[in-house]
Chain A
């Protein structure tokens, strides 16, 4: 054992590029992930004089005001988790296991909520079901509709997060060997019985995985509860209000820890307990299953269900699009450009900031994601497992916790970075790496290791091999990492709301302010502009990655002739 460690250290020393990368990654992970968490923890158990004190924690557990948001968040997380998983399962089943029409359309629909800016569904909710809501007021004639509360949050979060469930379960269902179902059919089982006794039990790991992932997302969510929860307080929002409204940093930190605990547990369960049983990433490529049911009694009800979901999504997004062009929603529906004029004048600087910071962090996050995936899958060095765990940890650490941790960690010497563009870029980089790491890891595992060895033995250094062999083959994974981190950087709210400064205000935070001021149509116009930027950026990234090497179809077909 000691022998092996010694040799992997010797190996490191012999490869200075590798040594440098490992040290760089560890420094980044420690400074921008572990150190802020450590600061929150220390801050929560000390008093103002810096001595060990559990007073704040005792206060918290004796006061009902604290217990309530935790209960609410858990309730919301579980409810949303179950609903989103149910819809996601039906969606995934319909698209992988049956022969329903318009599959491409449904797949596109299911990705929209993932890449859309925050607040959009809450805004639609207000437009449709609010006091002046199109449906509640205009169609149903309800005067005092109350859109604020848990019911709206559940609707909005279910739509937001069912795509995560859908993608997770698509992975599970498409990898489920159709021969198993055929075997059951061959043994005389009915279709319903096969589903109940074979398909469903085999997809249990995927279902649990989906529940946990949606639960984490729901707990973490800041933007929706911040604008639509009403008196239904959730932890993420309560922590923010405690710090910014009551200037109670310690109380906020404790809430952050309370928020961290369940998401961390869910993450560890998902990653280690369900490890190997399912494949988790929001970039999973659906593959067409061989056995697809053509039974009309199954196909048409499923098609109707998918259409209903698609219709609801189109309604919600369409509403915001329309809302951006009307004078005063609910009162005066005449056309106007005035909201866009607002975005282009007062809202211009935050928008520009968002794009600049997102563009700055995207290549760093994308490249770092690939490097970490490469190191973890292909290299041997001490602390490899720790690197893997910590780099994926950001997936489970709610943005609110990150934001609070960053204020505590980087507001003092030697790291006086609060309010700077640098800190925002680092926040984006380390929060948005996991998808790149996940897709990079799963791609690398599929690529024969000897392809890189062939490059090495032909004389290439580690760096040359990575640039000329590994990276081009990781193109698809690299692309999804880039897209995801750009979109996440553009749409981030919860972490950055603690980190912005007058110089570096961001678009999403401006939208939040518009909500606070009830300027809903201005918010709608802002969101529409952001959608346009995101779509253009994804197209641009696609083009850029295309220049990186030859076509991806060739890369993926490399093993086709071998057995």
Chain B
């Protein structure tokens, strides 16, 4: 999509979007009660920003999007677009565009007419319709197939038609409802990058809904994680992955190991994250100022950046990403000394555990090990497995935890009770 069209041709009338106490209740299927699909959602999307709502199916992300589009009316709360409350304005009067999961191209209209449709509906002068349609087709590299029908072009091209049709009307906000889920894996990655480039160039405020976390990571300025109708966490992709606020978020974004530990107290040593590195919200920077002293399997360690929600004392969950764990092969006569060879012995920032490999899966770029330890089963991923020794199932291993990249979460109450 190397466009020769000037970006300025699509004057972005981008607006900011504000959701205030947005709630949507549906009647349950048996009619006996209510289902709260979206529960008191508050969100501010800046003009020109691309925000992704990410969550498992049924989390309320599509309902939120459809309320902004106007296809559902909220039970309570307001939706402000450019400062104007649109919650009760019909969808055709909101000046938005949407790219649908199924593309929703008009099968009986040519590609040209599909793109021109929104302009024709606005009853613009014929000259303007032609110029803007042609520019949009050129931008999306569709000019050569303008006379064809949607059923006569490939899936990727259908996707571009849907995008051209959405941007040609210069919407104040562009909505995406899982637009890439019908493409095969390679094309999906390609379109993902093209879509992000286009959105940045046109500067259109965009709200993107997906259940694919890698897609969300790749295209978003900020990600909103939803579950059961509620927002779990809002942040940049880096914040969400590196500083999850809950077990759900840690588990949903990538993979995570959870180890029960005890927090003994906070230490005054400032790590100084905020000053050193930009791009973190002040909340996270502030929380990262203080390190936590924990107790795990009877030994004491220091977690230097426990995260904003880390408990000050008592039971907690240690969150460790699989790629931060290191595996060390152990002989039959394994000793603490062998194990500690992997890390600095006695250091409060590094721990070593013993375990056995239950399962090994080879992905080419990653080797994944499921390892059982005395405490809990752990997932460990080692990159570039071709370069190192591959450990077989059943082998006794040592696991090295580097607390530098570990985080602390409040203990899972339900699990403790169970």
Give chain A's interface residues, CB within 8 Å of chain B: 1, 3-4, 7, 10-11, 14-15, 448, 450-451, 453-461, 464, 468-469, 472-473, 475, 549-550, 554-563
Contacts and interface: CB of A to CB of B under 8 A. Distances in A.
Nearest to A562: B182
15 contacts: A450-B101, A451-B104, A454-B106, A456-B90, A457-B98, A457-B175, A459-B118, A461-B92, A472-B108, A554-B149, A555-B108, A558-B105, A558-B151, A562-B102, A562-B158
Contacts of A473: 107-108
B108 A458 contact: no
A454 B165 contact: yes
A450 B102 contact: yes
Interface in B114-160: 117-118, 121-122, 149-151, 153-155, 158
Nearest to B97: A457
B73 A10 contact: yes
A561 to B, nearest CB: 5
Closest 8 CB pairs of A and B: A558-B107, A458-B118, A557-B151, A450-B104, A454-B104, A450-B100, A451-B104, A460-B121
Given A450-B100, A561-B151, A458 B71 contact: no
A550 B112 CA distance: 14
B109 A454 contact: no
A3 B33 CA distance: 12
Contacts of A560: 151
A10 B165 CA distance: 30
B31 interface: yes
Contacts of B265: none
A550 B25 contact: no
Contact of B108 (A459, A549, A561): A549
B182 A554 contact: no
The residue among B92, B98, B149, B150 with the most chain A CB atoms within 10 A of its own CB is: B92
A550 B109 contact: yes
Contacts of B25: 3
Contacts of A7: 73, 75
A460 B90 CA distance: 11
Nearest to A458: B118
A473 B69 CA distance: 24
B90 A15 contact: yes
B149 A456 contact: no
Given A1-B31, A7-B73, A458 B107 contact: no
A558 B150 contact: yes
Contacts of A460: 92, 117, 121
B408 interface: no
A448 B102 contact: yes
B149 to A, nearest CB: 5
Nearest to B149: A554
Contact of B69 (A457, A464, A558): A457
Nearest to B118: A458
Contacts of B108: 472-473, 475, 549-550, 554-555, 558
Contacts of A455: 106, 117, 121
A562 B155 contact: yes
B201 interface: no
A357 B182 CA distance: 50
Contacts of B96: 457
B102 A456 contact: no
Contacts of A475: 108
B92 A459 contact: yes
B319 interface: no
A458 B27 contact: no
A403 to B, nearest CB: 40
B151 A458 contact: no
A315 to B, nearest CB: 43
B91 interface: yes
Nearest to A464: B121
Contacts of A461: 92
B390 interface: no
Contacts of A454: 98, 100, 104-106, 165
Given A11-B73, A448-B104, A550-B108, A563 B182 contact: yes
B121 A459 contact: yes
A538 to B, nearest CB: 23
B38 to A, nearest CB: 14
B90 A14 contact: yes
Given A459-B92, A559-B151, 14 more contacts: A3-B25, A3-B27, A10-B88, A450-B102, A453-B71, A453-B98, A453-B100, A454-B100, A458-B169, A459-B118, A459-B122, A473-B108, A475-B108, A562-B103
B150 A458 contact: no
A472 B149 CA distance: 14
Contacts of A11: 73
Nearest to A473: B108
